[in-house]
């Protein structure tokens, strides 16, 4: 998805895990690649990204501020907002 008509304000995703579903990617770190790919599509005014994953996946990226993190059984959830560079 390279183009959207309007900025995105919310991304909610449950990342693949376990034996029933596999996530194939040419990237060494597919979670980081996902963060990078959605960054330019997010609203510059306000946007939130919520990710759910198993506990073995590292959720985070340098271009995002983690607002909340929860552990629920064998899963984790985290809420992020993009860090926007301020213009001087």
Q: What is the mean pLDDT of residues 12-37?
A: 79
Taking only the tens place, the pLDDT of each residue in 38-82 is 999 999 999 999 999 999 889 999 999 999 999 999 899 999 999
Does the reported pTM lie above 0.85? no
**Distance between CA 39 and CA 71 in Å, rounded?**
25
Residue 53, both tokens:
């994953």
Do β-strands 10-14 and 48-54 pair in parallel, antiparallel, or remain unpaired? parallel
């Amino acid at each position: 998805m390279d183009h959207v008509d309007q900025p995105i304000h919310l991304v909610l995703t449950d990342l693949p895990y376990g034996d029933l579903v596999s996530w194939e990617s040419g990237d060494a770190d597919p979670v980081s690649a996902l963060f990078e790919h959605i960054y330019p599509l997010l609203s510059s005014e306000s946007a939130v990204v919520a990710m759910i994953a198993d506990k073995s996946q590292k959720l985070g990226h340098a271009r995002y501020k983690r607002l909340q993190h929860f552990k629920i059984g064998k899963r984790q959830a985290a809420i992020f907002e993009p860090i926007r560079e301020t213009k001087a």
